[in-house]
Amino acid sequence: MMMTRLHQTLRALAFALLTTAAFQATAVGYTARGGKIFDAGGTEIQLRGISHYGFNATILQPQYLWSMGWKQQIAQMKSLGFNAIRVPFVPDTLYNTTPVNALSYIDANLNPELIGKTPLQVLDLWMAEADRQGMYLLMDFHSVSMVRQYPTWYVSNPVDFNLIYNKQAYTPENWTRDLAFVARRYAHLPHFFAIDIYNEPNGIVRWSTGDPNATNPANFWKAAAETASAVVLAANPNLMIFVQGINGNFDGIENTNIAMNWGEDFQPQAYQPLNIPLDKLVLTPHTYGPDVYQKSSFTAANFPANLVADWEKLFGQFASKHPVVVGEWGGRYGNGTGGQQDMVWQNAFVDYLISKGIRSSFYWCYTPNSGDTGGILDDALNVRQDKMALLQRHWGAFVAAPATPTLPAQPDRQQAVTSFTPSSGPVGSVVTMTGTAFAGTTKAWVGVGKHAAVKVISDTQIRLIVPAGAST
């Protein structure tokens, strides 16, 4: 019995020493602080973003290559003042081996480099060129299928297997595998700063517990997002994690009477917060006006003034603690199905963003062939100057916050681990550690397992997820 206890004590001590020696008090790569995003040098960055879709569609390549050059498109976005591009992709982008020019007509004179290339090879070229031109890159896992937006990040219903690239089930493990693949593949690109882990979870999806009519934990977005973020950060700790909202938790706590878009509802974050490192988390709601979805709030007598309270409740309330970067918004701005009301909506939304100090977002979208929103370009590929004026007002005259100062060493603040539970467990286990000087910790090593995701509970307690390669 004595020898068994001694063995357990030595095992615990080895674990503690290995972990303590590897704590990092400074976050890696891009980080968040006080509702703002900073680059690796500690300088605040503004995201003047635009979505450029196509890699997520059946053509599995950027839109409009039948009449535009791919490098020309990136250069034009940059010349208009955009400095960030949201790139939607799907598993088909990674695994379909059909040459892109066989999937859709491409002007070979304007795009000679792409002829005969697979979608992934084209994505490689595109990411490298956008990075070379200095564009911040947000990879958006848009759906499990190129055919349509799917409500969940997995597919288990055999009726829907035809939507998947290999005509089989698509599991949560497949999803995190593909997120990690992308995180690692483009880790060498300095402007690749974040992954939007899933687009517009909706339908049967709930934030977490609370809805008595939706109790299947497989559809709880909070837990899924936490797992995905840990996998992404283990693959590439430089990245930010963009997490979208849901469209209602129906838990009797949130206000489910607010009209909302898919991806817009973050209310449960107030009482069931995401267990994702604070300095890596970005909340990225989607919201649209009458051109896209006719909400009941649009017919109120006090429209658009009534919308401010909704936006604040759904996501704005978190802007002082977390970066809130609207991942999609837009519309035809006066010539769509919503008519002038959509223009009123977009103007009011920009007013709200300015009032909150939210100067970063990703507008949907660049090319004109998104049916209900159009693009920054019109059908003749001319720039919509009215939309650009709206965006320039949103961006404002950005003044970056000062770089994070280098703090002097504090030898009296040595970290120490006094206990942890459980004492052992497989990769993915959640371990609670008690000790001292944990404030500011963002990563830990467990044996040779690096970059364990950490949540600081207090200066004396943290939780970490055991990473791949961990040993005691």
Q: What pLDDT shows up at residue 13?
A: 33
Active site residue 200: yes
CA separation for the pair 70, 67 (Å, rounded): 10
pLDDT reading at 355 higher than 80 = yes
CA separation for the pair 452, 446 (Å, rounded): 7
Instruction: Tell how many helices (H) and how many strands (E) occur in the chain.
Output: 10, 14
pLDDT reading at 307 higher than 80 = yes
pLDDT band, residue 450 (cuts 50/70/90): low
CA separation for the pair 161, 91 (Å, rounded): 13
Among residues 200, 226, 254, 264, the one annotated as catalytic is 200
Tell me which residue of 287, 288, 295 sits closest to 266, measured CA to CA.
287
Q: Give the DSSP letter of residue 265.
A: B
Q: What pLDDT shows up at residue 24?
A: 36
CA separation for the pair 244, 149 (Å, rounded): 14
Active site residue 173: no
**Which is higher by pLDDT, 434 or 71?**
71
pLDDT reading at 114 higher than 80 = yes
What strands, in cross-sheet order, belong to the sheet with 443-446? 416-421, 430-436, 461-465, 449-458, 443-446
Contacts of range 207-211, beta carbons closer than 8 Å, 24 or more positions apart: 207/246, 207/249, 207/251, 207/265, 207/268, 207/269, 207/272, 208/249, 208/268, 208/272, 209/251, 209/272, 210/249, 210/250, 210/251, 210/252, 210/253, 210/268, 210/272, 211/249, 211/250, 211/251
Among residues 44, 254, 264, 328, the one annotated as catalytic is 328
Hey, is 299 helix, strand or coil? helix
CA separation for the pair 120, 89 (Å, rounded): 10
pLDDT digits (tens, 9 = 90+) for 61-94: 999 999 999 999 999 999 999 999 999 999 999 9
Indicate left, alpha or beta for 234 from its phi (over 0: left) and psi (-120 to 50: alpha): alpha
Q: What pLDDT shows up at residue 419?
A: 75
Tell me which residue of 133, 46, 123, 148 sits closest to 362, measured CA to CA.
46
pLDDT reading at 442 higher than 70 = no
Name the one residue in this structure whose structure tokens are 């703090």: 407
295, two tokens: 């909400």
pLDDT reading at 104 higher than 70 = yes
Tell me which residue of 420, 426, 421, 432 sits closest to 470, measured CA to CA.
426
Tell me which residue of 72, 55, 194, 49 sits closest to 123, measured CA to CA.
55
Q: Measured over all CA atoms, what is the biggest interatomic distance in the chain, rounded to whole angstroms?
A: 82
Least confident span in 272-276, 302-306, 435-439: 435-439
Average pLDDT, the chain: 89
Q: What pLDDT shows up at residue 466?
A: 73
pLDDT band, residue 462 (cuts 50/70/90): confident
pLDDT band, residue 411 (cuts 50/70/90): very low
451, two tokens: 């970059």
